[in-house]
Amino acid sequence: MKVLQTAERETSRTYSVAFQGEIGAYSQSSVYAFFGKDRVKRVIPLPTFSQVFNSLFSAQGEKGSDFAVVPIENSLAGSVGETLDLLLTRDVRIIGEVSIPIEHVLAIHEDTSIDQIRSVISHPQAIAQCKMYLDSKDWQQVAVYDTAGAAKMIRDGNLKDTAAIASEVAAEIYGLKVVERCIEDDHSNRTRFIVIEAKKTEKSVTGEDLRRSDEEKESNDNNYKTSVLFLTAHKPGSLVGALSAFSTRGINLTKIESRPMKSRPWEYYFFVDFEGREEDINCKDALEELRSKTIEIKILGSYKRRI
């Protein structure tokens, strides 16, 4: 009964959630997809990923947030390197994930036409996701900080020779005219977002976990994944040896990514997602072995798998 009462109190709470971009960004849609609109008291759009991470450590106010939602990988364009780098350097934990479809439109100023367009602006990932469409056009491709931000720039700058790649929602918000829909190369295009919080806070209970008792969680360990970062010695066989901690125990890896170490040319750290929870005996043993075979390890969190 006590567990259920605690869960009921948690579900009645509302949160401030930060994301990168402008109002109307895909990241804002991911916030609502994870939390539900009724549980978000305030969204905090911020220009950069670094500011989004910083918001978790700010005093509650204009830029202080309870949680942040950031993209970590796209099904077409791959991983978001800046997110991985910030996970390494900031003291945060991952408490959830969500995947949303990405459906791009070409939006232009309401007082222009497509034959007047000379350039197109959007987030670099969005431009990459629409490569085939854009290669058929003789337009200059300009990367900006956000898809919704691109739409806002056209409205605010009264740009009549520039198109934006954005969501249809963003085009509507900023009063643009949609001239092409579904311009992404692959219509199965999706982006996976992670939900993070500062480690200085007590571990949160969020998302689907709020509706599940401890007994149910114990019987559904395979519905969880854990994320870790680690650095191995710069010598042959180090990575294979580290990963054997998982393979010998039959633990499935769902993602592995290498990222260059800053100030250490040609050395890399590794980001790994694997099935299971940090507290599971099998996973706990694997992490202990991994710790003994690496120079550094950072456990980012265990959370409900939603992909």
Q: Is 211 a residue whose pLDDT tops 60?
A: no
246 catalytically annotated = no
Q: Percentage of the chain with pLDDT > 90?
A: 79
In a domain, 206, yes or no: no
Whether 193 is a known active-site residue: answer: yes
Residues 254 and 293 both lie in one domain: yes
The tens digit of pLDDT for each residue in 148-193 reads 999 999 999 999 999 999 999 999 999 999 999 999 999 998 999 9
CA neighbours closer than 13 Å in the CB half-sphere of residue 234:
8
pLDDT at 3 over 70: no
Q: How confident is the model at residue 67 (pLDDT cuts 50, 70, 90)?
A: very high
Neighbour count for residue 111 (Cβ, 10 Å): 9
295 lies in some domain? yes
Give the CATH number of the domain where residue 9 resides: 3.40.190.10
Question: In the predicted model, what is the mean pLDDT of the chain?
Answer: 89
Mean pLDDT lowest among 94-103, 178-187, 213-222: 213-222
pLDDT at 204 over 80: no
Residue 100, judged by CB atoms within 10 A of its CB (0-12, 13-18, 19+), counts as middle
pLDDT for 162 equals 98
Residue 151: in which H helix or E strand, if any? Answer: helix 147-157
pLDDT of residue 181: 96
Is position 42 within any domain?
Answer: yes
> In which domain, by residue range, is 237 found?
212-304
Q: What pLDDT is stored for residue 214 in this prediction?
A: 47
Whether residue 236 is found in the same domain as residue 277: yes
Among 198, 223, 243, the domain-final residue is 198
Compute how many other C-beta atoms are within 10 angstroms of the C-beta atom of residue 304: 19
For residue 221, the model assigns a pLDDT of 53
pLDDT for 46 beyond 80: yes
Q: Of all helices (H) and strands (E), which one includes residue 82?
A: helix 81-89
Q: What is the pLDDT of residue 4?
A: 43
Same domain, 168 and 222: no
Contacts of residue 129, defined as CB under 8 A and 6 or more positions apart, other chains included, come to 74, 76, 77, 102, 104, 184, 185, 186, 189
* Mean per-residue pLDDT, 121-134: 94
Q: Let me know whether 17 and 59 are in one domain.
A: yes
The one catalytic residue in 35, 49, 193, 246 is 193
Catalytic residue among 83, 147, 191, 294: 191
> Is 232:270 a contact under the CB 8 Å cutoff?
yes
What does the pLDDT read at residue 2? Answer: 46
Give residue-wise pLDDT tens across range 269-295.
Answer: 999 999 999 999 999 999 999 999 999
